[in-house]
């Protein structure tokens, strides 16, 4: 069983600068502490882009400091909030392809993980996979052949029903669809949307999770978009030969937790006993 942690959209800022009403550094520190405490057996942590809010070098320095505390191996993807050159200057050992894009692969437990770089050359908030990046992907998929692939990238290549976010999706999605057609892609993991969403695209299952900072409100079909401070998540993906299971973890939750045992069938069968049982367990 492969266990992968996904964290996304850190939006780190220079020290002391908040982002939409919260401290990105504090939120990431809390996520890393939670991962170390609860999921130290994971194989890998993947952070799927928008590492920085506006790509400053000091934000990447923040990230370096945070990741020192993480007790697991990690991979980093870039998003539209990132600046590739400043990121690579801060993380010179992070793997990149022959063109300098932050793209790489790793094989763990029979699964091939591919990490893509969708940061647009013109710095726009929409995603981009240019000829060089798509060619790199095609060659990696050719090498992998029929083996299963898990794909990590920041920008989803499809609309999700929130107009602003749909305008900022991956450009020319049909080109990515063409490269992925007929391949054994088991799951796609995205960032960018600051919401928990699951579904499929051209038959490929996908999941997206909340940011460690602010979220986009669920305003389907409505402009303008709005941000909110729904709780941050990270995700835990459990990957076996038969299944990919993605849990979303509300890691800052501090409310009550109740031990639970299933209600015996005899109580459900007898309505009078069921009533008495509910009264006894109401609080």
Q: Which residues bind Fe ion (CB under 5 A)?
A: 9, 50
Among residues 9 and 43, whose Cβ is nearest to Fe ion? 9
246: its two tokens: 């993605």
In this complex, which beta carbon is closest to Fe ion, that of residue 11 or of residue 75? Answer: 11
φ/ψ bin of 150: left (φ > 0), alpha (ψ from -120 to 50), beta (otherwise): beta
Q: How far is the CB of 213 from Fe ion (least distance, A)?
A: 8
Helix (H) or strand (E) holding 276: helix 271-280
Q: Select 2 or 168, whichever has its Cβ closest to Fe ion.
A: 168
Minimum CB separation from Fe ion for residue 181, in Å? 28
Q: Which of 270, 228, 267, 225 is nearest to 22 (CA)?
A: 228
| Closest to 193 measured CA to CA, from 109, 278, 79, 30 | 79
Three-state secondary-structure class, residue 44: strand
Query: Which residue shows structure tokens 């991979």?
Result: 75
Nearer to Fe ion, 4 or 168 (CB): 168
CB of 266 to Fe ion, least distance (A): 51
Nearest approach, Cβ of 21 to Fe ion (angstroms)? 15
Tracing tokens 């999605």 back to the chain, one arrives at 173
DSSP strands (E only) in 146-184: 149-152
CB of 50 or CB of 117, closer to Fe ion: 50
* Shortest reach from residue 105's CB to Fe ion, in Å: 24
Do the Cβ atoms of 216 and 162 come closer than 8 Å?
yes
């Amino acid at each position: 069983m492969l266990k992968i942690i996904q964290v996304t959209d850190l939006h780190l800022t220079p020290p002391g600068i908040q982002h939409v009403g919260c401290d990105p550094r504090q939120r990431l520190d809390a996520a890393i502490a939670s991962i170390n405490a609860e999921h130290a057996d994971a194989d890998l942590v993947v952070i799927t882009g928008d590492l920085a809010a506006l790509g400053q070098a000091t934000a990447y320095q923040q990230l370096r400091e945070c990741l020192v505390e993480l007790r697991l191996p990690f991979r980093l993807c870039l998003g539209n909030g990132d600046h590739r050159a400043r990121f690579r200057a801060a993380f010179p050992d992070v793997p990149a392809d022959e063109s300098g894009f932050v793209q790489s692969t790793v094989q763990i437990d029979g699964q091939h993980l591919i990490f893509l770089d969708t940061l647009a050359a013109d710095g726009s908030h929409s995603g981009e996979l240019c000829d060089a990046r798509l060619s790199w992907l095609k060659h990696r998929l050719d090498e992998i052949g029929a083996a299963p692939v898990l794909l990590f990238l920041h920008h989803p290549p499809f609309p999700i029903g929130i107009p602003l976010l749909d305008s900022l999706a991956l450009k020319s999605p049909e080109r990515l669809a063409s490269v992925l057609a007929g391949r054994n892609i088991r799951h796609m993991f995205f960032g960018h949307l600051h919401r928990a969403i699951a579904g499929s695209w051209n038959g490929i299952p996908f999941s997206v999770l909340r940011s460690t900072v602010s979220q986009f409100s669920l305003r389907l079909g409505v402009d303008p978009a709005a941000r909110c401070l729904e709780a941050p998540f990270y995700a835990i993906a459990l990957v076996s030969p038969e299944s990919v299971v993605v849990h979303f973890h509300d890691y800052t939750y501090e409310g009550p937790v109740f031990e639970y045992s299933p209600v015996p069938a005899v109580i459900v069968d007898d309505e009078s006993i069921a009533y008495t049982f509910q009264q006894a367990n109401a609080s």
